[in-house]
Amino acid sequence: MTTERLVRIVAGSFILLSLSLGVEGSPLFHNSNWLWFTTFVGANLLQSGFTQFCPLEIILKKLGIKEISQ
């Protein structure tokens, strides 16, 4: 598995989890402040699309996960 694929999996999982914890209609609802975490992940994905800087990707590279072959 590559770093790019893992970043997408982790980001998607974080968004779904934070939405399930932050939306009042959810059976897992905890507090609406979890929606700020959703905002953070979405903003980080947006900026990484423009700048190619992703903290999770840096961590995954340090852990030895391979990158996509260019």
Domain ranges of the chain: 3-62
Q: What is the pLDDT of residue 40?
A: 96
Is residue 10 scored above 70 in pLDDT?
A: yes
Q: What is the pLDDT of residue 70?
A: 59
Is residue 69 scored above 90 in pLDDT?
A: no
- Tens of pLDDT, residue by residue over 23-59, are 999 999 999 999 999 999 999 999 999 999 999 999 9
Could you tell me which residues come within 8 angstroms of residue 16 by beta carbon, excluding any fewer than 6 positions away? Answer: none
CA atoms of 26 and 14, how far apart (whole Å): 15
Q: What is the pLDDT of residue 28?
A: 96
Identify which of 6, 13, 9 has the alpha carbon closest to the alpha carbon of residue 60: 6
